[in-house]
Structure 1
Amino acid sequence: MKKIGFLSFGHWSPSPQSGTRSAADALLQSIDLAVAAEELGADGAYFRVHHFARQLASPFPLLAAVGARTRRIEIGTAVIDMRYENPLYMAEDAGAADLIAGGRLQLGISRGSPEQVIDGWRYFGFAPEEGKTDADMARQHAEVFLEVLRGEGFAQPNPRPMFPNPPGLLRLEPHSEGLRERIWWGSATNDTAIWAARLGMNLQSSTLKFDETGKPFHIQQAEQIRAFRQAWKAAGHAHEPRVSVSRSIFALVNDMDRAYFGTGRPEQDQFGYIEPEVRAVFGRGYMAEPDTLVEQLRTDEAIAEADTLLLTVPNQLGVEYNAHVIEAIFTHVAPALGWR
């Protein structure tokens, strides 16, 4: 069995061709898609966070709303850019959303990717310490976030408080027990995957990875996952880790699918630069008739290594069509691969 969820970037555009024309559309349709996915038997509803963009941004109101409308499905992010986050305030928001959802949050956090504006985190009031990079700052914020999620007291109480305090140092409230073990790190390199394992975070690996060997994307990603698991074992954590990978997978089962995604061109990895002097490899998408799709996916080593698969969805095509995309995978692909 493999957990299968969807991942939405929550794009919206006022264009007449878009089914998601406003920020309100993106948010409300995200909730509706999570409800529909749960009814179809999906395991997770995950959302990407981008600032200064016509996409989903502040995740916790959305996660709480999804949690209130659903009962079983995991609710997560992939990923929250920690360069922008106050880790203590984030811990309060995360604790509240997790309690509303009954302990179903699976929060993916990371250093983040190139954004819409230059050094956008500076507008949020953050800057790296002297001699440090923005990536260092993101990891520092992540470590503080992980520490306060343990629920241990650290703040000196006021001797004359407005309301009575429990004894000892105070922790952040609300605290949600178990959330600390449901934090994931979105990693683009082998080294950060190993760092995440040492800190006891689960691993998220997307459709993009820094090119470290020149090998095909799925092989590099599988090697990253194996390095993560080895580091986890060496760290001696008491529980087993989880690993997710993201893929664009479309089973062409009707004329609409073929019109949208039946390009007739073979998909392949792409190599390029998302940052100066940092070469990356972008994983191929999978778009084919179900029988062909099954054979193609059998050869993806990283999917085989992961316990969770996140299907990236074209959210601007609307809730009904995206529910169809998810259902087509469950019906025509997952059983043949032993995922269901």
Structure 2
Amino acid sequence: MALEKLGFLTIGLFDEADPRKGHESTLEVIELGERLGFDSAWVRHRHLQFGISSPVAVLAAATQRTSRIELGTAVIPLGWENPLRLAEDLATVDVLSGGRLNPGVSVGPPMHFERVKGALYPHTAGAEDFGYDRVGRLLDLVRGVPVAEAGTEGFEVFSDHVQPHSPGLGSRMWYGGGSLASARWAGEHGMNFLTSSVVKAEESEDFAGIQRSHIRAFRAAHPDGDRARVSQGLVVIPTDSATPDQRRRYEVYAEQRTPRTATPQGPARLMFAPDLVGPSAQIAERLHAHAGYQEVREVAFALPFTFEHEDYLQILTDIATNLGPALGWRRRDVDPGGASSYSG
């Protein structure tokens, strides 16, 4: 099966002493992604760390520097968010982008909740619902379900649903899941599904097999069945044009992370995907044999967390020019008049 959509994911690291430089680097990487023909660019979400804490704001900036590439979040943890306010922000950015936003979300208590709950929910921490209902609220709000009475007060007019309303956004909502329950829930509620590079070892300890079972469970529950959208996420590092120093650093990075991929980790029995490092032809061969990859038609390959800006440029260029075509992907170009075409 040929790959139809090629995307990438970045965490957007920055130096605490100079945060603007890191954010500018992320925006430059997204701009490069568009020039290389990528179909989508995704940003991670990090709170109280030195990565993007406000992906919606970063993507708002990206909408003004790009014109074609789809922009996504992978993923926004909803435990940190008020669904109504988030719905307003997402719709605003989608309008600014011309309908290119792909918001990905997840549920569960905020990371290190005991440490942050006093600042995040000083009076309601014990009453907050961090389950699937929180996603359901966001979906309703994005899709235009009324939340108040419409009317006029003096010279001011009030809507009964979130404004602005972007009609297509509801169909571009993604759920980032690593369990069978999440996969089924996302399918039942008509969302798209982001398969995680971290999954729960519920049925086996084979990462690729677990990922495949999640995808199949999602599609079995989705109204669109096999046509339901799924995007696979793995750390992929092609080395075709890498310097000897880059190859060495990439290999060391992967080797340091490999031990955690051998067995389930922690009480939640989490399985981590191995990083794929090497020439594009070799990576393509491994992906074609991957049980999870065999189920998808689109991907969002993750950039490593701690590399340099120049490393990301090399990796993205190799993905677009070598790995993508080796997977059957054909880049989409946009001519100055706005017409799109596909080229090999």
Shorter-chain TM band? 0.7 to 0.9
**Residue 226 (structure 1) aligned with residue 216 (structure 2):** yes
Provide closer, same or farther for how the CA distance between residues 181 and 223 of structure 1 changes in structure 2, counting only shifts above 3 A: same
Q: 2:265 aligns with which of 273, 281, 284?
A: 273
SS at match of 1:108: strand
Moved more, 326-335 or 255-264: 255-264
Identity rate, percent: 29
Q: Is the 8 A contact 2:77 2:110 kept in 1?
A: no
Distance in 2 (alpha carbons) for counterparts of 1:218 and 1:286: 13
| Matched residue SS, 1:273 | coil
How has the CA–CA distance of structure 1 residues 161 and 188 changed in structure 2, closer, same or farther, with 3 Å as cutoff? farther
Change in CA separation of 1:159 and 1:107 when aligned onto 2, cut-off 3 Å = closer
1:244 maps to a residue whose letter is S
Q: How much has 1:191 moved relative to structure 2?
A: 1.1
Distance, in Å, in 2 between the alignment partners of 1:140 and 1:271 is 32
1:56 to 40, 46, 52: 52
Is the contact between residue 77 and residue 106 of structure 1 (CA under 8 Å) also seen in structure 2? yes
Given that 1:53 and 1:116 are in contact with CA atoms closer than 8 Å, whether structure 2 keeps it comes out as no
2:324 counterpart residue number: 334
Alignment of 1:40-189 (within 5 A): 40-111=36-107, 115=111, 118=114, 120-121=116-117, 123-125=119-121, 127-129=125-127, 137-157=130-150, 160-165=153-158, 170-189=160-179
Asked if 1:24 corresponds to 2:20, the answer is yes
Q: CA RMSD in A?
A: 2.5
For residue 310 of structure 1, give the secondary structure of its aligned residue in structure 2: strand
CA contact (8 A) 1:252 1:262 kept: no
Larger deviation: 26-35 or 96-105? 26-35
After TM superposition, the structure 1 stretch with the greater mean CA deviation from structure 2, 45-54 or 75-84, is 45-54
2:341 corresponding residue in structure 1 = none
Q: Which residue of 2 aligns with 1:288?
A: 278
Corresponding residue SS for 2:263: strand
| Count of aligned residue pairs for this structure pair | 321
1:287 to partner: Cα distance: 0.7
Question: Residues 328, 155 of structure 1: CA spacing in aligned structure 2 closer, same or farther, 3 A cutoff?
Answer: same
> Alpha carbons of 1:3 and 1:128: their partners in 2 closer, same or farther (altered >3 Å)?
farther
**How far has the Cα of 1:116 moved from its partner?**
5.1
Change (3 A) 1:121 1:244: farther
**CA distance in 2: counterparts of 1:107 and 1:57, whole angstroms:** 15
Aligned to 2:336: none
- Give TM-score scaled by structure 1 length: 0.86
Matched, 1:241 2:225: no
Greater Cα shift, 205-214 or 307-316: 307-316
Call closer, same or farther: CA 1:312–1:112 in 2, change over 3 Å.
farther
User: Where does the alignment leave 5 or more consecutive residues of structure 1 unmatched?
Assistant: 15-20
3-state SS of paired residue (2:50): coil
> Using the alignment, how far apart are the partners of 1:92 and 1:42 within structure 2?
27
- CA gap of 1:158–1:196, structure 2 versus 1, over 3 A, is same
The CA distance in 2 between the partners of 1:112 and 1:8, in whole Å, is 22
Determine whether 1:210 maps to 2:200. Answer: yes
Cα 1:316–1:284, aligned 2, differ >3 Å: closer, same or farther?
closer
